[in-house]
Each structure stands twice: as structure tokens, then as C-alpha cells.
Amino acid sequence: MQINTAQQALDFIKKAGRAEDCPLNIFITSLAFAKLFHPDHDLTDYLAHMEQMVEKLHQEYAIAVEKEDYDSLDLKRRTLVHVMTEEFLYDGDVDDYNNPINANMISVIDRRRGLPVALGILYLHLAREMEWDVYGLNFPGHFLFALKHDGDSVFIDPFRGGRVVEAPDMREILKAIAGQAAELSHEYYQPLADHDIIMRLQNNLKTSFVEREEYEDALTVVEALRLFDPDEYRLLFDAAILKVKTGQMSAAREDVHAYLQAAPNPLERGHAEQLLYEIERSLN
């Protein structure tokens, strides 16, 4: 499918979210979301960049295997990280972490800087092009991924130069995010579905826009996510709030009514009813 316009990007996002007969390409899907904010950018340049990275990884890996005369988990990790961080100079943006550009794949590639999940998508796509066994981890707040080989696995932090993280490192990250009482759970080591990786990236982007009070851009993200995951009823409430922020009261009212029909939780419905009351009062 061609993605030359914002509308074509939305069509792709809708199709990607509902596809059941093929794996989700998280790299191209993230580019499609980014295209909504860069309508004049040619995505073929970014696809070509990825092809260049994949070709370099093939070359570096073949050289490493021949030189060391064996294949291993550590050799895979070292060549993957080398290509990302030393050949193409990708790294986490520690100076301007909450800037929306760090969750926009076009900007991430342009700057070689991004959030953990944005960089993680690049790592995952590269490794999958090599037909290696990789997956994102269901770890909260900070995206990590696993690389496997012959039954062994290693956990990698894409934000900090592709360094290996072990249980003490993960515990330290978790406590920094969730508080000193937080402890590691078995579920944090489980694979995160590719669909949820895309949701995570875009939710980061939405949050960044909201923090900057750039509500129109945040609404663009939410409306695209509604195409990608039409069954996620909570997006209706997000859309309603953002439409209130942007003065679209009638449309916000429609979203709240739809949310009230879908929300299974009485507390959620209570919040929505309060928002609906405020909307109705503003319309009268």
C-alpha cells in the first residue's frame, strides 16, 4: 500500500490494526502514524534508510561470525547494538525526553534520538529482518526488549545504548518509575504484543502533546488510534476530553454517549456522566 498522503496513512493504520492474516509491521505502522504530522515527507526515504541499516547488519553479522567462527546470543546482541549505536548513532534523548518528536518515527530517524519504545521498534524491526527471535517486554514505564538464541535470552535497554539489563537493573528502573515499594512481577518478563507496542508509542505521543497543551495534535493521535483499535472504548473518553479542549462540544457529546454505552466500570461511567453534564451545560 502506498502512503503518500495523510489519508493514505490513515487507511494503512486502519488496515494494520485489523489485520489478522499477517504479522504487524511495527516499523511501517509507526511511520504511517508519523506521516500524519509530516504530510510532505516522502516515506520512501525512511524505508530506504531502514534497508541500509538491515544491509549493514547483515554485513557486520557475517563478518563477526566468520571472525569468531561461531554464532551466539552475545554475538547477535553485539552486532545489533553496534549497527544501531555506532554505525547509525541512535541513542535515547535524555536532554528533551518529553518532546513529542521523540515519539514520532520520522523525527526519530531524522535526529537519531527518541524514546525507549521508538528506538525499540527500530531494534525489533532490524532483528526481525535477520529472522532473529526478538520481542518487546511487558515492562511498565520504560520499554525493554528480549533477544533469544538457542534457548537463552538477554534483556536489552534500547534507550541506554543497547545495554544489557538484568533483574537488579530492572528493579532499579521500576522503582524510579513506580516508587520504592514497587517490585518485579513475572508478568513484566512476558512478551508485549506488537499491537500494544504501537499503542504505547502513540500514547506517549498523545501525552507529550497534552502536556504542552497542543490539544489538536493530541486529538489527531487519538482519532488515528481509534482507527487502529476500534474496540478500545477508553479512546472515546480521551477524544471527548480533547474535543472539549478544542471547542468541539457537540462532537464531544457524541463521544461521551458512545463511551457510556461501552464502559463496563461504574466509576468510569461516573466520570463520563460528570463530563457530559459539563458539556450539556456549555451547550445550553
Using DSSP's 3-state secondary structure scheme, residue 152 falls into strand
pTM of the predicted model over 0.85: yes
Q: How far is 29 from 268, CA to CA, in rounded Å?
A: 30
User: Nearest-5° angle of CA 225, CA 275, CA 243?
Assistant: 40
Task: Residue 228: name the closest of 1, 2, 19 by CA.
Answer: 19
Distances (CA, A) of 229 to 137, 145, 168, 202: 20, 23, 35, 12
Average pLDDT, the chain: 95
Q: What is the pLDDT of residues 185-198, one digit of tens each?
A: 899 999 999 999 99
What does the pLDDT look like over 42-89, one tens digit per residue? 999 999 999 999 999 999 999 999 998 888 999 999 999 999 999 999
Q: Report how far residue 22's alpha carbon sits from residue 195's, in angstroms, rounded to the nearest whole number.
A: 12
- E-assigned strand segments in the chain: 91-92, 113-114, 133-137, 145-149, 152-157, 163-165, 191-192
- Exposure letters 88-113 (e unless 16+ CB within 10 A, then b): bebbbbeeeeebbbbbbbbbbbebeb
Given pLDDT bands bounded at 50, 70 and 90, which one contains residue 284?
confident
Helices 116-129 and 73-82: angle between axes, nearest 10 degrees: 120
More confident residue, 21 or 253: 253
- Entry field: residues in the chain: 284
| Four-CA torsion 30, 36, 38, 40, nearest 10 degrees | 120
Q: What is the pLDDT of residues 18-36, one digit of tens each?
A: 877 667 899 999 999 999 9
Residues 148-164: tens digit of each pLDDT: 999 999 999 999 999 99
Q: Is the pLDDT of residue 1 over 70?
A: no
Angle between helices 194-211 and 26-35 (to 10 degrees): 30
Give backbone dihedrals phi and psi of 163, rounded to 5 degrees, phi first. Answer: -75, 155
- 105-145 tens-digit pLDDT: 999 999 999 999 999 999 999 999 999 999 999 999 999 99
pLDDT > 80? residue 99? yes
Report d(CA 282, CA 216) in Å as an integer.
20
Our CA angle for 60, 27, 176, nearest 5°, is 90
Pick from 183, 81, 190: which is nearest to 135 by CA?
190
